[in-house]
Chain A
């Protein structure tokens, strides 16, 4: 087991290295005129450094003056010591901006995940136990619709109904206009109020796949021999489903959910942007649109790390929760 984990970690590091290389090459392949244009544009801003200084800083941070491979190693060396440079768009160190925005993204992600699990898993089990019933059809269609909904369209619909027609929520932003004058409890409520629509959006578009996943796995378990044995023993249906079948369904579920845990930090690029929630997704969207290379590089590598940790966690926990699985 330990050997397997070490092997996987080493492979992950190798993959991460390659991902960083690919992303770096991609960034280098962007037209240089574009980078220069951005440096020029940046230098036009009041109280900014001169164009030459921006270009020099860029060259120093990214080894733009060197070839692609030496430049990559120069960047890697700095990144390993935690120096990701200054963000062009936010004009503060990348890590500082990151620490400012990551909190809200994590909170949003965590609430969404909890709601998703609480809603989707019972629905999935319900569908599996009543396969081909009306309930099954209705839930299946609803979850497929949620799964097929384009985020931006659903968010626009929610805004039309709840913000424009009913005026329950603001259209954009994390805080209301009178945020500064509220008590700390009021500020908390204000933020929570502004997070309702984004979280609803996220839950609706993501719960469908979990419902279907639960349903498929539950069906598989319900067709297993030991369930027939349990029924043959004369156990009541409730006990069969929730004691025997559900526990076995938990194995893949725990795996997939634990695999998605690191994803809590990755933020919701589209949803945050649509609702102007200042999380990591929103911050990096604007950084990427503005051609903020330092921030984009950091964000891409960060996402790659999260994906790798997620895969690793999923695989390891799969072995931990299911004693039948042997890792080699």
Chain B
């Protein structure tokens, strides 16, 4: 016995026996609260519910993130950047227009036969081996074209070198000469790597490896090509190249033997949505498929689920009380009529109806906000018959009690008698039934959202968060996407049921413990 109780006892002893103050008077409400507080399971439910409300309504405010705030991460992505091919086929360069593809083909045949001449259309062409795998074709002693395997590449993107320059450069390179003259200028050839210098500036190089950019808008700088060719010659597989802007990228080489091609992959960092991130200090429950913070989504989802539950329950309560009250009080044909309406609504299968309406709303593309309102109205409108039956049943029995005869005798108006004297006596049962109903409504809403027919993106709802589990990969690998939402949902519904149970026991003194 606590100290306070002892004090109370001492005080009560001072009153006379028939003094009212001796008896501690509790209002009916306080009695109910007392009985409720004694029910341990119901209290657990109440605490869970309080937590859920705080989580949903305060959580959204406390959370540093917004409901549909997107998060990004930097990801290494390999892109096909360039390709390099070792040229094993002759390429042709024309000096005159005569050097067409047929002549090129004839020339190729002659090269493979190691002939000095070839004929086409009765004309004799001369074939000269200018250097190693480097040939020229001539007609009447005049050079019309060349065939080569080593290729001259210019250093600058916009520089133009004509055929005669290329001829001179290739001739020098294939013959191992260190200088050549073209257009009256002397150029220097560095034979090791085929670089060609005009004085001291490098103007290009000769190589068998052809490097091409695979991505549009990319010009491969000479330095890049040099490094690449070096890597290929050394048989390397990876290299790091620093471009003119000083940015370092990693490149990876893959060789396809079938096409004799090297593909160069550029490892580049790119910004992507941070989807399905594992839980971390930043995102306690990771991120979802859109790259939104899961915990924040759960908070806003709880808000949606709870608000929808309450509004739906209020709609069906109001409708049910009005219809049931009228029906029970008046009886007779009014009762008959209302009850048949209730029967009809009772028979309409609500889940299929909502699914059909949801699918129709999908097809007509209703705005997600308006859709949520519709959802509440539909659920509320389909839920009232149960309430109406309950109210009617209660009123039928209450109506026959003496105090109702008294209200009639004092001449109160009908609406006053129904809503002031009858309905308040039904309220305990209504509260119990509405609390239990809330759980059911939340499940219904979640199920619809899970099926994609309820609350839609960008709004979060516990149901549509779990929806992602339809993806088997998510089911297997990302527990944090769907388990927390499911647990919250289960806890909330269970809490509503426990509290409803507790309230029923507390309201009903016959269930004394």
Contact = CB atoms under 8 A, between A and B. Distances in A.
Interface of A: 11, 14-16, 18-19, 22-23, 26-27, 30-31, 33-34, 37-38, 132, 137, 140-141, 144-145, 147-153, 156-157, 159-160, 164, 171, 269-270, 273, 284-285, 288-291, 296, 299-300, 303-304, 307-308
A23 B348 contact: yes
B41 interface: yes
Contact of B348 (A27, A145, A300): A300
B486 interface: yes
B357 to A, nearest CB: 8
B359 A284 contact: no
B3 interface: no
A145 B447 contact: no
B359 A151 contact: no
B443 interface: yes
B272 interface: no
Contacts of B450: 150, 152
B344 A19 contact: yes
A288 B493 contact: no
A14 B348 contact: no
B490 A145 contact: yes
B490 A288 contact: no
10 contacts: A27-B356, A144-B498, A150-B486, A153-B490, A157-B486, A160-B479, A284-B352, A289-B359, A300-B353, A304-B347
B340 interface: yes
Interface string B342-382: 01101111011101100110011000000000000000000
Nearest to B344: A18
Given A27-B356, A144-B494, A148-B443, 11 more contacts: A144-B497, A150-B463, A152-B446, A153-B482, A171-B472, A288-B355, A289-B359, A290-B359, A296-B352, A299-B352, A308-B347
A157 B497 CA distance: 22
Contact of A31 (B340, B360, B490, B493): B360
Contacts of A145: 490, 494
A269 B501 CA distance: 28
B363 A34 contact: yes
Interface residues of B, number: 41
A26 B352 contact: no
B317 interface: no
B232 to A, nearest CB: 46
B27 interface: no
Contacts of A140: 41
Contacts of B347: 15-16, 19, 304, 307-308
A116 to B, nearest CB: 19
B189 interface: no
A145 B513 CA distance: 23
Contacts of B451: 270, 273
B466 A33 contact: no
A150 B348 contact: no
A25 B68 CA distance: 38
Given A15-B344, A18-B340, A300 B349 contact: yes
B490 A160 contact: no
A15 B349 contact: no
A268 B466 CA distance: 20
Contacts of A14: 340
A296 B359 CA distance: 12
Contacts of A149: 490, 493
A150 B446 contact: yes
Contacts of B351: 269-270
B302 interface: no
Nearest to B439: A148
Contacts of B364: 31, 33-34
Contacts of A144: 494, 497-498, 501
